[in-house]
Amino acid sequence: MSDLNCPTCGAALGPRIGTVKMISCAHCGTTSYLEDDQFRAAGQSGVMHDGPQLLALDRPALVAGLRYTPRGQARFSYGRGEWDEFWALDDAGAGVWIAIDEGDVVVQAALPAGNAPRPKGPLALGQGLQARGESFAVSEIETATCIALRGVFPEVLRLGETYRFVNATAPSGRLLSGEEGPDGWEWFLGDWVDPFEVRAP
Amino acid sequence: MVFLTAALIVTVGTGYLGYRGIGGASTDLDRSIRVGSASNALTSSHVK
Amino acid sequence: MRDPGQIRAIQCTQCGAGLDVLGGGRVTTHVCPYCGSALDALDNYRVLTRFTEMTRPATPLSIGDRGRVMGQDWQVIGILGLSERWQTQVWTWVDHLLYSPTHGYVWLTLEDGHLILTRRWRKAVSPGWISAAQVEQANARPGADSDGEHFRYFETSTASITFAEGEFTWRPRQDDRTITVSLLGDRTMLSYVEGAHEREIERSWYLPQADVWAAFGVTGAAVPRTEGAHPLAPVRLPRDLSFLIGASAVFAALCGLLALVFLAMNGRTVLAQTTLRASQLPTEMAFDIADTSRLAELRFEGDLGTNTWAWIEVTLSDPEDVPLFEAGRELGYYAGRDSDGAWTEDDRVTVIRFHPTQSGRYTLDLDAPEGGAGEAQDGPRLGGLRVSAREGASSARPPLALAVLFALLAGGLVLWRRTAEARRWQGSDWEDDD
């Protein structure tokens, strides 16, 4: 596995990962995305103000007993507050999204199109959704703006772009989240994690 | 562990005592009539 | 989280007082400690409502205080005074909202001087919800399971807010009521909390009191004194109490079994049962003893009519013809009928156990000089006397005594645990005594 370098300034950005579609360089502050095996400049990375964090980029952590290494960090603003989405890899190289907002921690994996819900029409609060044989009720719909990017990502995120998010909860406590993109909704399924169960390995 | 060891030792101990019948003799036996042994002679002389 | 570059202080839009903004991005309401105005943190701190006639609850902690609890650093960002009324009784407690940028929002509750940490519990809980109405209708004490701990119903309480200051992630209203159904586990408490607008499940931990007070810089006389025992307070019992109880019970059974075995190990006959007629007494009998390491026993059984007794006298001499001991025993047989029905008192058999001092031929002198009917002493009543002797017997007494001792130990430990458990549960409002 060779190392990945920033196409703009050449800084090392960690190991090359097959699913990477985008990189955001902390050194020169630019983002680039992969198209036809070529990195193309996409713009700026934004400023990531560092406060105390549960997870840090490239530092392995145990999340509810499973070891993950965060490789990308995207920060979204919902107006009065912000939350982080970490793109993290387990030891086998499988990727998950870990959302962290003031002690609320959710670990979710992308749902393949075959298992994803297919809502008809616009989503509404309380609406029922089906995924992997479980029923979910929409509990939250909001928009958020991407305000900072760092590291590598399996999808292209653009600084300053506003995304629509939806959260739906199952009686078991599982959380189904959707992110609206140009090609429709993308779905992620996972569980809440107790923040006290996120620790250094 | 300490408890188990102590309990086992005590049990084996009482097992041995029980096997030998120690503590099982009748308590109402009057042995003062026995003469010949020094200690009993002494006891007897005290009593009488 | 909040952007670290965001504002850190505001002015109360009602009274102009300077207020620090300590909480994170999920704070929605800021209650001014000076004028009681509830300000909308989402809308330029516009006045939403005003808390009036609030009585400040007694707590040594203030907004802005920092301390380390459960391995994390927290800051007090909000304080709520709560009370519950039931008939003429009033219970009050103080909830401190603590904030950590990494771990979010938790409640630090001060109740009767005890510090409890409560936080939202998102892990799977079974059942997912228990309402106060369900508790009312339940025939058996409701239970729940989460995180490997079993919880049993403890109490239902209805709390109303009497005081608020600082920042909150929701909008507190004076006299807002929350109904909490609490279940108690071995270590923590699980609560189903139903507020005016939402339901959530919370879990509570009893904190190491002295450490937490010290962490917040509260020392000496400032530390509130505790009143009574809190159901969450750890009960000081040995950690391996269950094991000790089990082991004691097993050993009690083992010793009981050993006693039975020794009871059955009654040796071998050295004097076959011989029947003497009363007219043959007094008499002399001889038998040989080889085993001096264990017990020998003499067994006497008298032929006695109903309500008669006899006194027998025994002298045993060792092989050197030196008397070993003498003993007198009463044999009797009584029967009758009283208000409780028929009764009998059968003492026709007596056994003398002794340790032989040497092996050889022992001589038994036997007489039955006295006897009578009822209470009277009116001469020998013995029809006949059966005599036998054995050697090499064991005694069940030592293991039996030990079995009793172990059983007492096990019972005592069980009682200790029961009493401690009962003390934890004495505040429960569950009526049925199960």
> B32 or C150: whose pLDDT is higher?
C150
CB contact under 8 A, B26 and C353: yes
CB contact under 8 A, C122 and A194: yes
Q: Specify the pLDDT at position A15.
A: 67
Q: Specify the pLDDT at position C69.
A: 95
Q: Specify the pLDDT at position A171.
A: 81
pLDDT, tens digit (0-9, with 9 covering 90-100), for C201-222: 999 999 999 999 999 999 999 9
Cα-Cα-Cα-Cα dihedral sign, residues C226, C227, C231, C234? positive
CB contact under 8 A, A102 and C25: yes
Q: How far is A50 from chain C (nearest CA, A)?
A: 8
Q: Specify the pLDDT at position C390.
A: 92
Q: Which residue of A has its CA nearest to C125?
A: A172
Q: Specify the pLDDT at position C93.
A: 95
Q: How far is C50 from chain A (nearest CA, A)?
A: 23
SS3 string, A100-151, reads EECCEEEEEEECCHHHCCCCCCCCCCCCEEEECCEEEEEEEEEEEEEEEEEE
Q: Specify the pLDDT at position C180.
A: 95
> C121 or A78: whose pLDDT is higher?
C121
| Per-residue exposure over A165-188, b if at least 16 CB sit within 10 Å of its own CB, e if not | bbbbbbeeebbbbbbbeeeebebb
Q: What is the mean pLDDT of chain C?
A: 90
pLDDT, tens digit (0-9, with 9 covering 90-100), for A63-84: 999 999 999 999 999 877 889 9
Q: Do the Cβ atoms of C110 and C96 come closer than 8 Å?
A: yes
| DSSP assigned state of C130 | -
Judged by 3 or more CB pairs under 8 A, whether B touches A is no
- Collapsing DSSP to helix, strand or coil, B11 comes out as helix
Span(s) in chain C for CATH 2.60.120.380? 266-393
Q: What is the mean pLDDT of residues A19-31?
A: 77
Which of B17, B18, B30 has its CB closest to that of C325? Answer: B30
- Does A18 score more than 80 pLDDT? no
Q: What are the chain A neighbours of C2 within 8 Å (beta carbons)?
A: 80-82
Using a CB–CB cutoff of 8 Å, tell me whether C394 touches chain B.
yes
How many whole angstroms from its chain centre is CA A122? 23
Using a CB–CB cutoff of 8 Å, tell me whether C195 touches chain A.
no
CB contact under 8 A, B24 and C247: no
Q: Which residue of C has its CA nearest to B28?
A: C327
What CA–CA distances, in Å, run from C140 to C135, C192, C298? 9, 18, 60
> How confident is residue B46, by pLDDT bands cut at 50, 70 and 90?
very low
Phi, psi of C161 (to 5 degrees): -80, 125
Q: Do the Cβ atoms of C297 and C376 come closer than 8 Å?
A: no
Q: Do the Cβ atoms of C385 and C304 come closer than 8 Å?
A: no
Q: What is the mean pLDDT of residues C164-173?
A: 92
| DSSP assigned state of C17 | -
Q: How far is B11 from chain C (nearest CA, A)?
A: 7
Letter for the amino acid at A151? G
What CA–CA distances, in Å, run from C319 to C287, C326, C355? 10, 15, 14
- Collapsing DSSP to helix, strand or coil, C244 comes out as helix
pLDDT, tens digit (0-9, with 9 covering 90-100), for B24-42: 788 888 887 776 544 444 4
- Does C70 score more than 70 pLDDT? yes
Q: What is the mean pLDDT of chain A?
A: 85
Which of B23, B34, B36 has its CB closest to that of C325? Answer: B34
Which of C2, C102, C105 has its CB closest to that of A82? Answer: C2
Question: Among A132, A125, A136, which Cα is nearest to A177's?
Answer: A136
Q: What are the chain B neighbours of C300 within 8 Å (beta carbons)?
A: none
Q: Do the Cβ atoms of C244 and B6 come closer than 8 Å?
A: no
Burial group, residue C222, by CB count within 10 angstroms (0-12, 13-18, 19+)? exposed
Which of A77, A84, A102 has its CB closest to that of C26? Answer: A102
CB contact under 8 A, B3 and C262: no
- Does C72 score more than 70 pLDDT? yes
| Least confident piece of the model among A13-17, C16-20, C297-301 | A13-17
The size of chain A, in residues, is 201
Using a CB–CB cutoff of 8 Å, tell me whether B5 touches chain C.
no
CB contact under 8 A, C254 and B11: yes
pLDDT, tens digit (0-9, with 9 covering 90-100), for C300-353: 999 888 888 889 999 999 898 889 998 999 998 988 888 888 888 888 999 999
Q: Specify the pLDDT at position A72.
A: 92
CB contact under 8 A, B21 and C396: no
Q: What is the mean pLDDT of residues C160-184?
A: 91
- Site from C292, C314, C330, C394 to mutate, B interface, most B CB atoms within 10 angstroms: C394
Give the domain ranges of chain A: 113-190
Q: Specify the pLDDT at position A37.
A: 66
| Least confident piece of the model among A40-44, A154-158, C236-240, C264-268 | A40-44
Q: What are the chain B neighbours of C350 within 8 Å (beta carbons)?
A: none
Q: What is the mean pLDDT of residues C83-93?
A: 89
pLDDT, tens digit (0-9, with 9 covering 90-100), for A165-193: 999 988 888 999 999 877 788 999 999 99
CATH topology of domain C266-393: Jelly Rolls (2.60.120)
pLDDT, tens digit (0-9, with 9 covering 90-100), for C238-256: 778 888 999 999 999 999 9
Percent of chain C with pLDDT over 90: 56
Q: Which residue of C has its CA nearest to B20?
A: C294
CB contact under 8 A, A51 and C42: no
- Site from C2, C3, C21 to mutate, A interface, most A CB atoms within 10 angstroms: C3
- Site from B9, B34, B44 to mutate, C interface, most C CB atoms within 10 angstroms: B34
- Site from C311, C317, C354 to mutate, B interface, most B CB atoms within 10 angstroms: C354
| Least confident piece of the model among A132-136, B13-17, C302-306, C320-324 | B13-17
- Site from C261, C326, C362 to mutate, B interface, most B CB atoms within 10 angstroms: C326
Q: What is the mean pLDDT of residues C393-403?
A: 89
What CA–CA distances, in Å, run from A34 to A8, A149, A159, A199, C104? 13, 16, 16, 33, 36
Q: Specify the pLDDT at position C121.
A: 93
Residues 21-40 of C with CB under 8 A from A: 24-28
CB contact under 8 A, C123 and A192: yes
Q: How far is B47 from chain C (nearest CA, A)?
A: 16
Which of B11, B22, B34 has its CB closest to that of C255? Answer: B11
Q: How far is C185 from chain A (nearest CA, A)?
A: 19
Q: What are the chain C neighbours of A52 within 8 Å (beta carbons)?
A: 100-102
> How confident is residue A8, by pLDDT bands cut at 50, 70 and 90?
confident
